Structure 1
Amino acid sequence: MSTPIALDLRRYSPETQCHSHDYHQLVLPLSGRLELDVAGQGAMVDRRTAAVIEAGRDHAFAGGEDNRFVVADLPVAMEPALGRLPAFIELDPGLRSYVHFIAMELRRGQVGDTSRERILHLLLQLFRERFGAALNLDKRLLAARHFLDAHLGDPITLDQVATAANLSRRHLSDLFKSAFGMTPMDYLRDKRMRLALELLENSPLSIQQIALDAGFQNQAAFSDRFRRHFGKSPKHFRPREKN
C-alpha cells in the first residue's frame, strides 16, 4: 500500500507521546513550541526551527501552550534525500513566509489533492535550494539551477540551460526531474511565480511591471499563469486592490 500524502495544521498535546512511521515528516512552526526528541537528539521546534523526521525514526514529542504547526507527511519515494538532512533545521525568512502562506491556504479550506501536491513540491524545492549541499546534489544540476535563478526575467531555452550545466537536453531533464521533482522549465515557471507573489505582496510595482520582471511579455499571459499556479488572480494578493 502506498503512503498517502498529508498536509495539515496540527496542535500537539502537552502529554509526551512516542512513535515512528514509515514516511518522512516535516514539522513547520507557526506559533508556540514543540519539545521533540528524534532518535536521541532533542531540541525545541519553535518560530525559527523546523523538524525533519526521517521515516522509521523513533521520536518523542510534547507541545507547549498555544502551539500550531504545518505538518507534511511525505512518502519516502517523493523525496528520499530528506533523510540526509539534520533532524532540526533553521528556517530563513523566505521559508517562514511560505509556511505561513501554506497555513493561510489550509485555513481557507481550499487545498484539494492537486493544489496540495503543488504546494508540497514547491516546499520541497525550497528545501533543495537551501540544503542542496546536505542533499548531495550533482554539481551540474546546481549549475543549471543557478543559471535558471539568474535569468528569471529573461527569455531562455532548455538548450541554454543544458549548455550551462554541460549536459545534453535529455540528460539534464532526466537528472533534474529526478533530483528536484520537476523539469528545468517547470522549475523556472515555479520560481517566476514565487518571485511574482513576493513582489505583489511586498512591492509597490504595478502588476504589469511584475509580469515583465517574472519573464512574461504581457500582463494577460502572466495573470492566466498566476491563477493556474496559485488558484487566485494576482490582484488577490494586493490588499489595496481587492475591493
Structure 2
Amino acid sequence: MIDPLAEVVTLLQPGAGFAKVVVGAGPWAISRTAAGEPFYCVILEGACRLAVDGHAPIALQSGDFALIPSAYGVAMSSAVPPPAGTETLPVELGAGRFRIGREEGPADLRMLAGHCSFGSPDAALLVSLLPQLMHVRGEPRLATLVQLVSEETREQRPAREVVLARLIEVLLIEALRSTAGTAASPGLVHGLTDCRLAVSIRAMHERPTYPWTVAELAKAAALSRSAFFERFSRAVGVTPMEYLLNWRMAIAKDLLRRAQGSIAQIAERVGYSSASTFSVAFTRHVGMAPTRYARLSSAGEGQPGMRGGGGT
C-alpha cells in the first residue's frame, strides 16, 4: 500500500544541518529568526517554554520532542521566564555545547536542539501539508534518534552524510507518526488520522493518473459529496482537487528534475491525456513551461516554488 506520508517526506529530501547540546540555569530567554528552516529540540532534563512565530508559548518538559517544519521565529525561555524584553546570549562551551542563563552553579535544563534542511525546490508546498508544530510527549524513540543525529554531526565517520540523511528522514517520519493521534493543525497528518479521508488520500497517491472527481473521492470515503468536501478541506487545509493538483505537480517536477522521460511520458504519468494539456497546467501552476523547468533543473539553477496550494 502506498504511504502518502513517506512519499511526501521522500520528496522533501531532508538533510542534516546542525545539532547542539544546550544547558540552562536560572531565568533566561532566547529567540532566533530563520528563513523557513526546520527546527527541532528534545528536552533531556528540566523544563522550558517554546513559542513559534508569535503564537502562545507551550510548556516543554523532560522527554518532550518538538519539531517545526518551517520556522521563521522561535522563542524559548526558562519555565519561569525573565522580565519581558530580556534577551540572553548563549555562551559556547566548545564541541557543540552551549550554556544559557546563569553562568555559575548547576544547570536545571539540558536539551538537544538543531535544524535540518529540505533539499526539494517544492519544500514550501510540501511543508504546507504538514502541521506547523509537532509536539510529542513520552516517545523515547525520538530522543534516541535526535541523540544519534547529534553524535553523527560531531563525528567525521565514513558515509556521514548518507547516515545523517537517513536519520533525519526517520526522525521526521517518526515525529509525524507520533503526532497523528494529537490535535494537529490542518495538513496531511490530520487528514490521514481521519479513517474516511485517509482512504481518499491514499487513493490519490496510489493512482495519480486516474481522472478523479470530488464525487468519486467522496464515494471512496463513504461520505456525501458536500460532507467529504467540507471535511477534507477543514482537515487538510486545501480542497480535494487542490491537493490532487499539488501532488501531481510535485511528482511532475521531480520527474522533470531527474529527466525521467519525455514531456508526453511525464504528462501521462501524472494523469494528463496529452503533453499540451499538461504543459498548460504546469505553466499555470509553476510559472514556466515544463521544458524550461527541466532545462533549468539540469543546469542546476534554483526554481521558484509552486503556486497555489494552501495548508497550514
Q: TM-score, normalised by structure 2?
A: 0.44
Which amino acid is 1:156 matched to? Answer: W
Aligned 8 A contact 2:257 2:297 in 1? no
Among 119, 125, 132, the alignment partner of 2:129 is 125
Q: TM-score, normalised by structure 1?
A: 0.55
State the partner residue of 1:210. 266
Considering only aligned residues, what root-mean-square deviation do their CA atoms show, in Å? 4.7
State the partner residue of 1:78. none
Rounded Cα–Cα distance in structure 1 between residues aligned with 2:122 and 2:247: 17
Rounded Cα–Cα distance in structure 2 between residues aligned with 1:135 and 1:88: 22
- Which runs of structure 1 show a deviation greater than 4 angstroms over 4 or more consecutive aligned residues? 34-38, 40-43, 59-62, 87-91, 126-130, 240-243
Richer in strand (by share): 2
Secondary structure at the residue paired with 1:58?
strand
Cα drift, residue 36 of structure 1: 8.4
State the partner residue of 2:248. 192
> Is it true that 1:175 corresponds to 2:231 in the alignment?
yes
Higher relative contact order (CA 8 A, sep 6+): 2
Which amino acid is 2:76 matched to? Answer: D
State the partner residue of 1:134. 179
State the partner residue of 1:58. 76
Q: Report the structure number with the largest CA radius of gyration.
A: 2
Which amino acid is 2:118 matched to? Answer: R
Q: Which runs of 5+ in 2 are unaligned?
A: 1-19, 23-27, 44-49, 51-59, 79-88, 93-111, 133-171, 182-192, 300-312
Per-residue CA distance 1:173-219 (angstroms, 9 max, x = gap): 10110111111111111111011001101133001110111111111
Rounded Cα–Cα distance in structure 2 between residues aligned with 1:237 and 1:190: 16
Cα drift, residue 231 of structure 1: 1.6
Flag the 1:172–1:241 CA change in 2: closer, same or farther, 3 A.
Answer: closer
> Is it true that 1:201 corresponds to 2:219 in the alignment?
no
Secondary structure at the residue paired with 1:161?
helix
Flag the 1:230–1:146 CA change in 2: closer, same or farther, 3 A.
Answer: same
Per-residue CA distance 1:120-159 (angstroms, 9 max, x = gap): 5x42215699636624421111111011111201112222
Which amino acid is 1:212 matched to? Answer: E
Which amino acid is 1:238 matched to? Answer: A
Count, aligned residues: 176
Cα drift, residue 40 of structure 1: 5.5
Among 224, 232, 237, the alignment partner of 2:288 is 232
Cα drift, residue 237 of structure 1: 2.7
Secondary structure at the residue paired with 2:129?
helix
State the partner residue of 1:18. 29
